[in-house]
Amino acid sequence: MKEYTHQIDSHLGQQGANYDTVGSVATNVADGFTMVAVGDLIVSRPLTKYEHPGFGDIVQILCDADVTFGNMETLIFDIRSFKGSPEAEHGGAYHISVPELGPDLKAMGFNIVGRANNHTLDWGLEGMRETSRVLDESGIVHAGAGENLAQAGAARFLETARGRAALVSLATSFAPMSRACDSAGQAPGRPGLNALRLAQSIVVPPEMLESLRRVRDALPDYKPGETDPSRVMVGGTTYKTGNKAGYCYEANPRDVADILRNVRQGKQFSDFCIVTNHCHHPGNWSQEPADYEQSFAHQMIDAGADAYVGHGPHLLRGIEIYKGRPIFYSLGNFFYDDLRTPAGADMFEAYGKDPRVDTDAEVTVDEEAKGYPLGEGLFYGALSAPVYYESVITVSRFEQNQLVELRLYPIELGFSKRFANRGIPQLAPTAHAKAILERLQKLSKPFGTEMAIENDVGVIRLSSISQ
């Protein structure tokens, strides 16, 4: 693999491409190139027609960038003419918006979005395909979903005045039946999303592992022969020993290899490559990334990515600068306008509601308070705290093919407002902005990132960071 990569790099080098010290194609954009990156776009309606307080200031920031990215976590179609149906296996809710959202996002400044996430197939292949059509007609580049794995995993390209941008979109949090695959022999490929599968283990102290081993040995279906003293499997869950209880993840090597190839190729055909990952692990309660993700993000940048944008847990996680490239481990919610309709019969049932009496809005309010359904009256991941309504808009600026500055504009989504009016961002007032940025400072410190706070804006300057 290394020899093959070297052959490609050598060939491209003969064509005049610039290379950094790890052999990847260097950033190749014109001076002043800016990328805006935000988190999840969970929005049920167009927003630019109404003068939402402070929203115009947000739109101005989005429109001023060369590349404006967000994670597209809703489906777009007209329910009155829709030919599909809500899937039995959904991403925790049935996200839906009206067709007018496509041109509205474009008017806001969004020109490139990720599609791989746990809601990609909430409304089946019909919903996925109709969303693709609306985004295409709206002039918004999108990646992460397609008619097979090759299409879903491929980089998609955006032409800008200061350089050509590429996007590779993947998800580690997804409904199992939504994973795309390629053809094999006579079997056709499967439509869906670009997935990175993770094998989860639970880490426990040695004395707990020994207790679990005794439980396993006592089970009637246990067959002696497992000899690894550092791990035990009980009921399909793997436990392994460690100093502190927690979760451990191992990325599927084949998925990683496919993604690395797509990133490498995406950069070979562009001046600036973004990798985006939708990852809830270890859970929406955690402000720290899963243990696999830092190494994975570094691999992406080593392969040629100029930025790594994480999202999924609906709250902020830290920022790292690795080899002069930004890594955002989670940018939380950008839109959280979550009064979607229709909700789907399964959602009414999960929350004990009657569609003949209760409304879609009442189902959604219950969902936010209780979390996503696990079955048998159990739920996880409630999103009813203010932290899920706080985030930042990130603006990365490049000069002489180097990231020189990150500006972080703190936003709040109106948690204290009436539920129907929540979820639309505005710049946070001074006291709130300071609290958001100080939390982000703390979360970024373990990655060696130093952030100043200037006039209610977070500022990371590369001169103060070891690259």
Contacts of the segment 76-81: beta carbons below 8 A, 24+ positions apart: 76/101, 76/102, 76/130, 76/131, 76/134, 76/135, 77/123, 77/126, 77/127, 77/130, 77/131, 77/134, 79/342
- Minimum mean pLDDT range among 12-16, 188-192, 278-282, 377-381: 12-16
The helix (run of H) or strand (run of E) holding residue 86 is none
Tell me what the mean pLDDT of segment 425-437 comes to.
98
Model confidence at 226, pLDDT cuts 50, 70, 90, reads low
**H/E element holding 242?**
none
Residue 60: the pLDDT is: 98
What is the domain partition of the chain in residue ranges? Answer: 20-183+252-340+385-464, 198-248
pLDDT digits (tens, 9 = 90+) for 382-410: 888 999 999 999 999 999 999 999 999 99
The percentage of residues in the chain with a pLDDT greater than 70, rounded to a whole number, is: 93
Q: Would you state the pLDDT for residue 377?
A: 76
Asked if the model's pLDDT at residue 17 lies above 80, the reply is: no
Q: Which of 66-75, 332-341, 450-459 has the lowest mean pLDDT?
A: 332-341
- Lowest-pLDDT choice from 9-13, 54-58, 350-354, 385-389: 9-13
191 φ/ψ angles, rounded to the nearest 5 degrees: -65, 155
| Residue range 165-211, pLDDT digits in tens | 999 999 999 999 999 999 999 999 999 999 999 999 999 999 999 99
Cα distance between residue 57 and residue 163, in whole Å: 26
Any idea which of 45-49, 117-121, 269-273, 366-370 has the lowest mean pLDDT? 366-370
Lowest mean pLDDT, pick from 7-16, 44-53, 148-157: 7-16
Q: In this structure, what token pair is assigned to residue 428?
A: 């946070």
Distance CA 69, CA 109 (A): 9
143-164 burial, b if ≥16 CB within 10 A, otherwise e?
bbbbbbbbbbbbbbbbebebbe
Per-residue pLDDT of 94-115, as tens digits, reads 999 999 999 999 999 999 999 9
Considering the entire predicted model, what is its pTM? 0.92
276-304 pLDDT, tens digit each: 999 999 999 999 999 999 999 999 999 99
Q: Hey, is 105 helix, strand or coil?
A: helix
Q: Does 15 score more than 60 pLDDT?
A: no
Among residues 193, 394, 153, 391, which one has the least CA distance to residue 275? 153
Rounded to the nearest integer, the mean pLDDT of the chain is: 92
If pLDDT is split at 50, 70 and 90, which confidence band does 341 have?
Answer: confident
CATH fold for the domain made of 20-183+252-340+385-464: Purple Acid Phosphatase; chain A, domain 2 (3.60.21)
Are the CB atoms for 135 and 106 separated by under 8 Å?
no
- Quote the pLDDT of residue 369: 87
Q: Is 81's pLDDT higher than 90?
A: yes
Strands 452-454 and 426-427 turn out to be: unpaired
Position 464 pLDDT exceeds 70 = no
Q: What is the pLDDT of residue 19?
A: 44
Is the model's pLDDT at 23 over the cut of 80?
Answer: no
pLDDT at 178: 97
Residue 22 has pLDDT above 90, yes or no: no
| Per-residue pLDDT, 340 | 80
User: What mean pLDDT do residues 134-156 have?
Assistant: 98
